[in-house]
Structure 1
Amino acid sequence: LSTMNSLLTRDQQRTICSQLGRVKLQLLYKASIHGFTGAAFHQRCDNHSPTVSVGFNASGYMFGGYTKQPFSQSGQYVQDDQAFLFTFSGEKLLRYPVTGPANAVRMIANSGPYFGEALILVYGSKAEVHSNPGNYYTFNAAEMHGNDLNLTECEVYEVEGKPWRSMIWKSEIYKPTVSSVSQVRVLLIGAVGAGKSSFFNSINSVFRGHVTSQAIAGCSTTSLTTQFRSYSLKAGREGKPLPIVLCDTMGLEESTGKQVVKPIFNIYLSCDFWLKVLFGLQ
């Protein structure tokens, strides 16, 4: 089997991604491997979105388009107000926004990526480009592809969201640093609507490996949490309890602040007492 290697350099991929947010490109279709046919393109790319399509010609031009809409073979135009065409001038990306959003992309079975009637890659299931500036996109043909309408390659990438940072969770190896302390108890305090219960649900979902809503959460002018409650965390659906307990409290309200602060103060005194016992604090 042939290996799919992108013709776009890393810098060119970064330049394209800079137009789309914190994303990365995943190669779906490469015409030199899968075939310069509409059937091959649709087999690899239908129902994937958003996508970036790139054409390459022997004159050294790299050009294409972006759409948030998934490809299909319906024969219909699809609306996309975020679609755009582009070309590279050196390492600089020149962008041509859609001017007729209602006809931004057309879903044709016997062709590749079909941007309005302005730019079509793998046109008529051939290694060719159809170029007609002014039909829902405005661009200069010589600037776009140098008037060279023969494709040497066509690639289609799916645009994937990229996490803002990579993290490896190792909840099973955590334990308190003091041997006499079996659990760490975290007290959650905040105003009504601050997201204390939602915070617990998010943390719990991460450790469980699926979405949970154990704590009551939502939007209200008064606290949905009506009493102090402790929640334990588990590693996985059937995992063992972790040595971390999150303690949820009523939301602080201006009208009932005194009633809420008193039990919190008592909890603080209790924690303070045990800290002194455990660590010999004065």
Structure 2
Amino acid sequence: MEGNLTTADRKHLEDCIGTGSKKFTLLYSITKDGCSGQAFHQKCDMQGPTVTVLYNEQKSVFGGYASLPWFLTSGAYVKDEDAFLFQLLFSGVDRLNKFPLKSDNAKGLYSRSNYGPTFGGGHDLLTFTNSLSSSNGIYALNGSISASSYDMKGLGAEHINNGSMKCLELEVYKVEDVPVPQQWRKTSKWCKELEESLKSSVSSMRPASEMKVPDFRILLLGPVGSGKSSFCNTVTSVYRGRITQRAICGKAKHSITSMYHPYTIKINSGGCLNVRLCDTRGLEEELGIDLMQCNYLLDGNLSEFFQVAQYVVHLELILVDSSFVKEPTLVDKVHCVAFVLDGATLDELPQRVIDKMKDFRNLCTQKQNNIHPIKNYNTKVELDEGVNILALQALQQMLNYAEDFMENIQQREGKALQSCEENYMSELDVIEEEAGTL
């Protein structure tokens, strides 16, 4: 961050300006650009709103805000109703004061070719005139503070700058609005009614009866510590009306989850949702689930509670395992895959884990509108409406995708059946024709 203005001071000045977030860009510094009216105007004229900040040798910080641009003139006052003076530190101690321009005062700013930044008639804050040099790093500015056009709240110079204009630095910052980020995704207003509506909608979702599949099966994949197990607990918490801890969670060097564990979700009415959230071992650089095991999980070859090997296992060992399902049905297959990532640690993911996730993703499909933010109950002790809504919206979309997957299966099986029937009828025609010939 260029300049001496701290993040806290910038935030305070934002609040004083009162029109939202601001970007502060250093335009002028007397230690870098020289202390002269000419240098100031060369750097700061016609730059829009600016903040002037002085740092004196007594560790007091003060200055002024101009909402209108500085310009070169032989001497003129500018009416700037939004201008104000301020105090940030006094003798090294926080002292946040805003000194507004008095009402109907036309002397907010004063601009002159050989003057530094100047505020008010008289002047309330005159920084310096002409050209000055430093002595042992100290600039003895020939300006002053004197109340006239601004409401100084009864404070004199001795209570603002210790009565001293001997400064270590003077800076002028360009002040710009920070664009308000566009809404990433339009969502309904959060309320209890939305939460109940989502719970009801998710509860009503089930595979088509003709598919003869009792539950949607959703596989959760992600790096160690990304929140897969916590998401299982979050969803069960939403429907149980209390914080639950069915899945073991925590921070560890390696994955705490060691098996392919499908979780059913009980609801207060006594039944269960028609979905199984399938947790499994977290992704690591060298250890844990690999591409082959992931493929078997998707195809339904690995039965529930299959112990996922910590190290890569040879194909022959998996095939002879008693829990290996050689002829899986649609009931065994995964109907939707959800990658779970911790937004706070994305930049820390090892490249080999990222590469592994890309390989897994190639087995599935992924689009930008498939991204859903969630927050888990990993630290909270009470339910939260916002956390519930995010989890329900994500789960609802997973079920929608699972439903789409089954619809495609149903369509393919329907076409295959139609093709078989057509072949069968063709064979009958041939037999009848041959019989007629005989």
What TM-score do the two structures reach when normalised by structure 1?
A: 0.55
Q: State the SS of the aligned residue for 2:170.
A: strand
Q: State the SS of the aligned residue for 2:48.
A: coil
Note if contact 1:129-1:151 (Cα within 8 Å) is conserved in structure 2: no
Query: What is the rounded CA distance, in whole Å, between the counterparts of 2:182 and 2:3 in structure 1?
Result: 24
Q: Deviations over 1:173-226 (max 9, x none)?
A: xxxxxxxxxxxxxxxxxxxxxxxxxxxxxxxxxxxxxxxxxxxxxxxxxxxxxx
Mapping 1:55-134, distance limit 5 Å:
55-74=54-73, 75-89=75-89, 90-99=93-102, 101-116=105-120, 117-126=123-132, 127=139, 128-134=141-147
Q: How much has 1:156 moved relative to structure 2?
A: 0.4
Q: How much has 1:160 moved relative to structure 2?
A: 0.6
Mapping 1:26-45, distance limit 5 Å:
26-45=25-44
Note if contact 2:24-2:174 (Cα within 8 Å) is conserved in structure 1: yes
What code does the residue aligned with 1:94 have?
Answer: N
Equivalent of 1:149 in 161, 165, 181 = 165
What code does the residue aligned with 1:114 have?
Answer: T
Partner of 1:135: 148
Query: What is the rounded CA distance, in whole Å, between the counterparts of 2:182 and 2:39 in structure 1?
Result: 34
Q: State the SS of the aligned residue for 1:49.
A: coil
Note if contact 1:22-1:162 (Cα within 8 Å) is conserved in structure 2: yes
Equivalent of 2:180 in 164, 167, 172 = 164
Q: State the SS of the aligned residue for 1:102.
A: coil
What code does the residue aligned with 2:28 have?
Answer: Y
Partner of 1:54: 53
What code does the residue aligned with 1:39 have?
Answer: Q
Q: How much has 1:23 moved relative to structure 2?
A: 1.3
Q: How much has 1:84 moved relative to structure 2?
A: 0.5
Q: How much has 1:62 moved relative to structure 2?
A: 0.7
Q: Which runs of 4+ in 1 moved over 4 A?
A: 278-281
Q: State the SS of the aligned residue for 2:130.
A: helix
Query: What is the rounded CA distance, in whole Å, between the counterparts of 1:28 and 1:125 in structure 2?
Result: 18
What code does the residue aligned with 1:64 have?
Answer: G
Larger relative contact order (Cα-Cα within 8 Å, sequence gap ≥ 6): 1
Q: How much has 1:63 moved relative to structure 2?
A: 0.6
Query: What is the rounded CA distance, in whole Å, between the counterparts of 2:149 and 2:70 in structure 1?
Result: 18
Note if contact 1:16-1:93 (Cα within 8 Å) is conserved in structure 2: no
Equivalent of 2:7 in 10, 14, 28 = 10
Q: Deviations over 1:20-53 (max 9, x none)?
A: 2221211111110000101110000000111100
Q: State the SS of the aligned residue for 1:26.
A: strand
Q: How much has 1:69 moved relative to structure 2?
A: 1.2
What code does the residue aligned with 1:144 have?
Answer: I
Q: State the SS of the aligned residue for 1:18.
A: helix
More strand by share: 1
Name the stretch that deviates more: 90-99 or 56-65: 90-99
What TM-score do the two structures reach when normalised by structure 2?
A: 0.36
Note if contact 1:118-1:135 (Cα within 8 Å) is conserved in structure 2: yes
Query: What is the rounded CA distance, in whole Å, between the counterparts of 1:28 and 1:132 in structure 2?
Result: 23
More helix by share: 2
Note if contact 1:112-1:125 (Cα within 8 Å) is conserved in structure 2: no
Name the stretch that deviates more: 10-19 or 149-158: 10-19
Query: What is the rounded CA distance, in whole Å, between the counterparts of 1:162 and 1:49 in structure 2?
Result: 14
Query: What is the rounded CA distance, in whole Å, between the counterparts of 2:182 and 2:32 in structure 1?
Result: 32
Q: How much has 1:125 moved relative to structure 2?
A: 2.9
Note if contact 1:119-1:130 (Cα within 8 Å) is conserved in structure 2: yes
Specify every segment of 5 or more residues in structure 1 that has no aligned partner in the other structure, as ranges. 169-277
Taking structure 1 as reference, are residues 87 and 158 closer, same or farther at Cα in structure 2, changes over 3 Å only? same
Query: What is the rounded CA distance, in whole Å, between the counterparts of 2:22 and 2:115 in structure 1?
Result: 27
Q: How much has 1:7 moved relative to structure 2?
A: 1.0
Q: Deviations over 1:70-125 (max 9, x none)?
A: 10122110001111100114334201111263111011111210102110113333
Partner of 2:278: none
RMSD after superposition = 2.5
Q: Deviations over 1:130-165 (max 9, x none)?
A: 224222124321121111111211100111110222
Mapping 1:234-249, distance limit 5 Å:
none
Query: What is the rounded CA distance, in whole Å, between the counterparts of 2:5 and 2:142 in structure 1?
Result: 19
Specify every segment of 5 or more residues in structure 2 that has no aligned partner in the other structure, as ranges. 133-138, 185-406, 412-438
